[in-house]
Each structure stands twice: as C-alpha cells, then as structure tokens.
Amino acid sequence: MAFISYTLLNYLLPFWLVQILILDEADRLLDMGFQKQINYIISRLPKLRRTGLFSATQTEAVEELSKAGLRNPVRVEVRAETKSLSNSVSSEQLASSKTPSGLHLEYLECEADKKASQLVDLLVKTKSKKVIVYFMTCACVDYWGVVLPCLNALKGFSLIALHGKMKQTAREKALASFTSLSSGILLCTDVAARGLDIPGVDCIVQYDPPQDPNVFVHRVGRTARLGRQGSAIVFLLPKEEAYIEFLRLRRVPLQERKCIDDVADVVHQIRSAALKDRDVMEKGLRAFVSFIRAYKEHHCSYIFRWKELEIGKLGTGYGLLQLPSMPEVKHHSLSTEGFTPVENINMDDIKFKDKSREKQRKKNLQTKKEREQQESKPEKPKKVTNAAASVMRKKTAKQRRAAQTIEDEEELTREYRLLKKLKKGAIDETEFAKLTGTEDLV
C-alpha cells in the first residue's frame, strides 16, 4: 500500500485510466495504519470508477472509508440460513449466520490439563483429513510442533509449523508443503487466519481462542470454501463458557461437542520427551509464559479473565516438569492446584539431544561458574593510611615550610582576636586560657 502511494506521488503513471479499484481485507489494511495512504490513492483516481471493499468483518473504519471514498455505496452482505432447534420448540427455526451454511461450528469445553489429550484424540480421528490448528503465540506453535511428533498416537503424521517469527522463505516453504498435502496438520498462529486460500481444508481447530474476536470468523473461514463442507472446533475452559453466548450474539452460533472422558492421557509422554531433550523442556516453558502473557491481552477480558487462570492445571496440560518463576505467578494468587512437579530432578542436568548445542551449553555453564567464583573471592584489605600525612609526604621541604608558616600566622591571628576580646571584657581570663590552650599555665 505504501509502495503504491509512493509510486503515484513520484512517477507519472496513467492513473486516470483506472476503472476498477479493489481493496481486499479492507479492515486489516486500516488496522495496519494505511488509512492515510488509502485516502491519498483514492483522491488521485478518477471519480467515475467502480470500487469494492471486501472483508469478512466490516468495521466502523471501513464504513467511514466507504462513505468518504465511494459514490453511492451499496453494502452487499453474504448470509447463510442455518437450521437450529429451540429448547422449547421442536420445530426447525431459521437463524441468520455470518458463517457459510456448509460450515459446522462446535465448541469443546474441558479443563486445561485435559486439552492436550483431547487435541491428540481429535487429530487421530481426523487422520485422513486436512486440518489447521490455531495457537495463541509463536512460542506455542514452536513447542507443540516439537512435542506432538514425539507422541505415539501421532507417529507418521504430517505436522507443519507456521508462524510470523519464521523467515519469509521458511513460511513460504511450510505453506507450500501443507498446500500440496491431501491430508496433514498445519500448526499456526493468526498469520494464517486470513488472506490465504488453502484448498481442501476439512477442519479448523482453535486450541486457543483468538485475542481479537473478529479473527474468529477469519480462522473458521479457511474451510467450507466455495460451497464445500467443513467443520470448526474451538477449545474452551469451563470459566470461558460466556464466549459461546458472545459469539451467538455476533451471529456465529456454536454447538456443543462432548468432552470424551476415556481418552489416553498424553501428559506423561510429553514430560518424558522433556526429560530426554532440553530443547523440548525450554520450549515448553517459553510457550507457557507466552500464553499467560498473551491471555492477559485478550480483547474480551471480561470473559477471558487471566487472574482466574488455573495455572497448575495449565502447566500440567503443557507437560511442564516444574512451574516457572514469573511475576504473574509470584505477585498474584493464581491457583497452582492440579500440578505435581517431577521430583528428584535437577533441571540443569537435562541435556540437549543436539550435541553441538549441549557442548555450547556446558561451555556457558563453565564460564558462568568461573565468573561466580571470581566474584565470590574476598577482597584483600586495603592498608589504611593517614591522608594528611600522605599529602605532607608528597610535598617538598620548601612547600612543607611554607604550609607551616601559613598555619602559624593563622594561629597568631586567632590569639590576637581573643586577646582583644579579653581587653574589652567580652571573655574572662579563664575562658581565654581555655580557648588558647594555656589553661594549665593559669
């Protein structure tokens, strides 16, 4: 957008010949701060043209832009009619929905320590399908991208990680790999929530609900495209159930998916992987910390209340060996119930599987140990000397005599003043003797 604006400003292009202007993901362009450039581009184009603003979420800013930049704007909104059953009425009712009619939306409510096991069970059941799993942060994608392939149930699955902190070439390679698969799993952040047309996606899993509720529609919009069928599932904690009603009011109705009780617990396998490889252990800690800090920034903070997070269960669900020491845990009484740390384990003893990384780690530990030993050595006591005597020693004999003469003159001047006070009767003889140091002679 900035490049187009710069080109129009600095190069003589026949922009007056433009007949059609299309702004895709218009709300996102405005969120990124391009409103000034968009307004400039529109001002340089001919008024007799066709303009289209496209987005799954129409914000107030988009509405204002359409009024300012479009002549006789017409709003075209695509809606699907979905059939729903009322609790009190058995007959079918039609409800307006923002999502396609071919999209089946569900929510799965379970405790934080059960989420990982429920996810693995779901992925096993959709083995032959193309699935996208959304996480809250890049660190979470990195962690689960390393952990999930270690689990017995997911051996042989095609798991691909994609997030915004990857280099552009790595992202393009990951996206191309997933696009070419007939079945597989893409683990990603909201970098893949919009603007991507990945063919054949069957299921969307939102392991973490998005920080911005507007992104929810964009996430689920990766499936059920062009009249195809698709399904989407969002994981919610018991204290987040108000999110269901919130989405319903936004014309995104969800149906309940029962939490399966007899799924295999994968926490033991995750912890085992962390004990065998320090990389897994460290990524788990980073993911856990990043999740809590991202959770604090939820736009729907009245639903996603971070001070009510049960970090004990959350830490268990992440397969942590020990809970990390972080300010959010220290200064707030967050519940650690449900977490049992691994006993008789020194975290420093856990090694990297990668030999080069382990060699570097040991080198760093040795350097740190030597530095601590150096800092802990007692300092030699310094010889205390008389400052005045030291100064006198540095002076020459002539300088010392001159200094002594000045002192004698000051002493005589002081005694002369005291003598004048004695004559005037301001002080008596006893006081005079005391001030001049001659009281023993009186």
* Residue-wise DSSP of 145-200: HHHGGGSGGGTT--EEEE-TTS-HHHHHHHHHHHHH-SSEEEEE-GGGSSS---TT
Does the reported pTM lie above 0.85?
no
C-beta separation of 318 from 284 below 8 A: yes
- CA gap 377, 61 in Å, rounded: 64
Q: Look-up: residue for tokens 């059953």?
A: 85
Give the chain's length: 442
Q: How many CB atoms lie within 10 A of CB 427?
A: 16
Question: N- to C-terminal Cα distance for the chain?
Answer: 101
Q: Look-up: residue for tokens 């405790």?
A: 111
pLDDT truncated to tens, each residue of the chain (442 aa)? 666 666 666 666 777 888 898 888 777 776 666 778 888 788 888 888 888 888 766 666 566 666 656 778 888 876 655 544 444 333 343 356 778 889 999 999 999 999 999 999 999 999 999 999 999 999 999 999 999 999 999 999 999 999 999 999 999 999 999 999 999 999 999 999 988 889 999 999 999 999 999 899 999 999 998 889 999 999 999 999 999 999 999 999 999 999 999 999 999 999 999 999 999 999 999 999 999 999 999 999 999 999 999 999 999 999 999 999 888 777 767 888 999 999 999 999 999 999 999 999 999 999 998 988 888 766 666 555 555 555 545 667 777 777 777 777 777 787 778 778 877 877 777 777 777 766 655 5
pLDDT of residue 92: 41
pLDDT of residue 60: 60
C-beta separation of 184 from 154 below 8 A: no
pLDDT of residue 62: 65
pLDDT of residue 85: 43
Q: Considering only the top CATH level, what class is 15-69? A: alpha beta
Helix (H) or strand (E) holding 370: helix 355-376
Helix (H, G, I), strand (E, B) or coil at 319: coil
Tell me whether strands 92-97 and 80-85 are parallel, antiparallel or unpaired: antiparallel
Q: Which CATH architecture has domain 103-266?
A: 3-Layer(aba) Sandwich (3.40)
DSSP 3-state helix, strand, coil percentages of the chain (rounded to 5)? 50, 15, 40
